[in-house]
Structure 1
Amino acid sequence: MRDEGEEVDVLVSVAVLAAAVLHASWNALAHGVRDKLLVFALLNVAYLACALVLVCLAPLPDRAAWPYLATSATLQVLYLVLLLQAYRLGDFGQMYPLARGSSVWLVAILSTVLLGRPLPAGELVGVLVISGGLAGLAFADGLPRRDQLPALAAALGTGVMIASYTLVDGTGVRQAGSVLGYVAWLFLLQSPVLPLLVLARRGRGVLAELRPLCRRGLAGGVLSLVAYGLVVWAQSRAALATVAALRETSIVIAALIGTLVFHERLGRLRMAASGAVLAGIAVLELAHG
């Protein structure tokens, strides 16, 4: 008979793996629509609706957190714009692992540079394995052609934005006095930007264009928020390193979705590279934890 601790461990693992599937799935929903700008705008409408509820329930963040909130919200918008561009130009099964893997790699490197300390041996191994996996993803089809460079740049730029807002939020949330308050106001600040930009760029006629995409766009937003909630719940029940490592199984899930749903050519090298990125993240997170 399993004890309570074992049951919690199983529930945490199931929750984080479900979050990984949901995260890869909402990204796939966004990638699978021709007019990706509209879908990303609808994702943010879903975020805005939830944020409006949360700010009414959560404490107001402390004054010290507001510069971090403003910075993070800006970075989050840039992240969505670059992710959108990556999905416009490249294969889902290549862009998603590049963006996610490079962000973890950059957080490790930047944290070391900012703290001025060498990486411990375990973390160094993780960084090196991730580096090999990222190189494999970038060069899986041989040297990139000139027309492939913008897609690769957008994916790596997405990783830079993820790493940047991760570092900003790591400090900002400690200044806020309330995790829920910080998250609520972060979503509230960032989510109106893309919908307003779409409205300004395309005019009121865009509302008719949005109707056929509403179900998919709002569903993607809900999947994203549920995935986020599952991870936050898991982080309150288990070691952060374990949760972070399990969460990145979304990299391999995304590679499989790219093949099965979008009929992209996966190939042994691209799959092996995705697996290497995942293994490197696991080593890095577990060594860090």
Structure 2
Amino acid sequence: MSTTVFFAVIGAAILHASWNALVKGGADKYVGIAAVAIGHVPFAVVALMFVPTPAAESFGYLAAGILLHVGYQLFLLQSYKVGDLTQVYPIARGSAPLIVALVSVTVLGVVLVPMEIAAILIIGVGILSLSLTRHADGMRNNKAALFALGTGVFIASYSLIDGIGARLAGTSVGYYAWLSIGNAAIMVVYFLILRPVTLTDMARHGRKVFFIGGGASFVAYALVTWAFTQAPIALVTALRETSIVFALLIGVFFLKERLNLAKLLSTFVTLLGAALLRFART
């Protein structure tokens, strides 16, 4: 992985952690998710003024990507309804790179060197280990873990589809801009039919998340989509999920959350995997 791609994905991870912190800090997660998803639209429209139209060969992947992103968002909301962020998020984000790597090697025929495979495994284990801490009542939430794993499957699926689609499109930004608009349109219809109060609340109280969170999210995944065209999807996905480390740091330094030894060790393991990924083929 080149230095440019490496730091582009790290930048995307920081942006991803930032908008997640905005959503986490909000009282209504439905409003937060809606504001971020719909907040992509103005940035996507501006981007489309400067990039070519995606090639027709990518249209099938574009349609599949839109549906998978919608599924991911709805599954994530359901996960948060039955479980805590500190359990759901690490399982969802930690399982995704492992699934992508498995599919890439066994189905797509991607060849990864042993150090790259080791780095992906280390990152996945480091992130997943953050979910092992028991809650104050000493109990684990198996239902939440199952939903979180399902969310991870959606993340892995849209990563693979978007990686292939962006390459076929000939314009990674154009591909993702149209995907963002399609995703936002479906989310608007979903909330209009099932939870219209969400859109009203978003207009009243979600403007900060709409512009800041939507912008950060759009730029973050636009960088990732570009990176998919420059490096193996499995490596980009694994490195992107180091966003959980930045989310943890934001939580500690800005949200005043507690940092215990288990979280510190998990963070160290994840960063070790990222370092191995950077220097795997140098």
Write the distance in 2 (CA, Å) between the matches of 1:262 and 1:250.
Answer: 16
The structure whose Rg is larger is 1
Give the alignment of 1:1-289 within 5 angstroms.
17-115=10-108, 120-141=113-134, 145=139, 148-203=141-196, 206-207=199-200, 210-228=203-221, 235=227, 247-262=240-255, 264-284=257-277, 286-287=279-280
**Conservation of the 8 A alpha-carbon contact between 1:93 and 1:259:** no
Label 1:12 to 1:138 Cα distance change in 2 as closer, same or farther (>3 A).
Answer: closer
Write the distance in 2 (CA, Å) between the matches of 1:197 and 1:165.
Answer: 20
Counterpart amino acid of 2:143? P
Counterpart amino acid of 2:219? V
Unaligned 5+ runs, structure 1: 1-8
RMSD (Å), alpha carbons: 3.7
Write the distance in 2 (CA, Å) between the matches of 1:118 and 1:54.
Answer: 33
Note the alpha carbon deviations across 1:56-106, whole angstroms, 9 max, x for none.
543322222111111111111111222333444444445434333321121
- Following superposition, the deviation at residue 114 of structure 1 comes to 0.5
Counterpart amino acid of 1:32? G
Identity %: 39
- Following superposition, the deviation at residue 211 of structure 1 comes to 0.4
Write the distance in 2 (CA, Å) between the matches of 1:231 and 1:55.
Answer: 17
Label 1:58 to 1:116 Cα distance change in 2 as closer, same or farther (>3 A).
Answer: closer
Note the alpha carbon deviations across 1:92-126, whole angstroms, 9 max, x for none.
44543433332112111111121468864213322
Note the alpha carbon deviations across 1:246-268, whole angstroms, 9 max, x for none.
65442212123334555555421
- Following superposition, the deviation at residue 230 of structure 1 comes to 5.5
Write the distance in 2 (CA, Å) between the matches of 1:204 and 1:139.
Answer: 36
- Following superposition, the deviation at residue 136 of structure 1 comes to 2.3
**Conservation of the 8 A alpha-carbon contact between 2:97 and 2:124:** no
Write the distance in 2 (CA, Å) between the matches of 1:219 and 1:94.
Answer: 26
- Following superposition, the deviation at residue 169 of structure 1 comes to 1.7
Write the distance in 2 (CA, Å) between the matches of 1:50 and 1:191.
Answer: 12
- Following superposition, the deviation at residue 221 of structure 1 comes to 0.6
**Conservation of the 8 A alpha-carbon contact between 2:252 and 2:259:** yes
Task: Say how many residue pairs are matched.
Answer: 278
